[in-house]
Every structure is written in C-alpha cells, then in structure tokens.
Amino acid sequence: MAFQFIIYDMFALNNGKRFNTDTNIIVLSDGESTYDSPPEANTLKEKGVTIFTIGTNIHSNLSFLQTLASSSKHHFSLYGRQDIDVIKDILAIAGIGYSLPVTEPDCCT
C-alpha cells in the first residue's frame, strides 16, 4: 500500500520529483507485511528507484527485506546500539549530502 503511494504520488514529476535525479527509498521494518509488497517494490526498481532496507531487530524477516531491497548491498540489519552508525552509512551511500542527528533509542541505553 505504501509503495503504491510512492509509485503514483510521491515520485511523480507533478508532485515535486526532480527530473534526472537519483531516487532512493529507505525502508525500516521488521519485515512483516500485511500487503503484497514485492511486486510494487519491483515496479519501483524498474522505474530506477533504489530501495534500501533495514531490519530493525534480530527477529526481522530478512528474506522478505532482501527481496524488497535493490540488491544484497542495499540491505542492512540493526541489532543494537553499536549498529546505529549503519543509518549514517546508508545516508552516505544514498547520496544524501548531510547526515541527520541520530539519537540512541530508549531500548539501547
């Protein structure tokens, strides 16, 4: 469902998508979906969108998240506070020219 919104609304030129720019999505998830997301993710990839996935806990459905990701190098997992820097790395790989401040989640302090 969310991918449909991205396909038809967010990444449309008339809604602010800039022509000839990279388009990236970062999905943070436990890998459990109530919708059939892989076909929609494939549509986005066919349109040139790079999809990064991040498993948010040790019980994340990794095979599902790897299916959504553009490639194996676009999938990451967070298992605790030591992995928070992964988010900064993903922002760098995605070509975002600045890093957002990342605070430690309450669960990890």
More confident: 33 or 96: 33
Quick check: is 77 in a domain?
A: yes
Pick from 85, 89, 80, 88: nearest CA to 107: 80
The 10s digit of each residue's pLDDT in 16-28 is 777 777 888 888 8
Which residue range(s) make up the domain with 2? Answer: 1-7+25-56+67-99
The 10s digit of each residue's pLDDT in 52-79 is 988 887 788 888 899 999 998 898 887 7
Q: What is the pLDDT at residue 81?
A: 65
Pick from 84, 4, 91, 78: nearest CA to 41: 4
Quick check: is 41 in a domain?
A: yes
Quick check: is 104 in a domain?
A: no
Quick check: is 33 in a domain?
A: yes
Could you tell me the CATH number of the domain that includes residue 41?
Answer: 3.40.50.410
- The predicted model scores a pTM of 0.70
Quick check: is 94 in a domain?
A: yes
Flag whether pLDDT at 46 surpasses 60.
Answer: yes
Give me the residue label for tokens 């401040």: 101
Pick from 83, 109, 87: nearest CA to 99: 87
Quick check: is 62 in a domain?
A: no
Flag whether pLDDT at 105 surpasses 80.
Answer: no
Q: What percent of the chain stands above pLDDT 90?
A: 8
Quick check: is 49 in a domain?
A: yes
Give the chain's domain count.
Answer: 1
Quick check: is 105 in a domain?
A: no
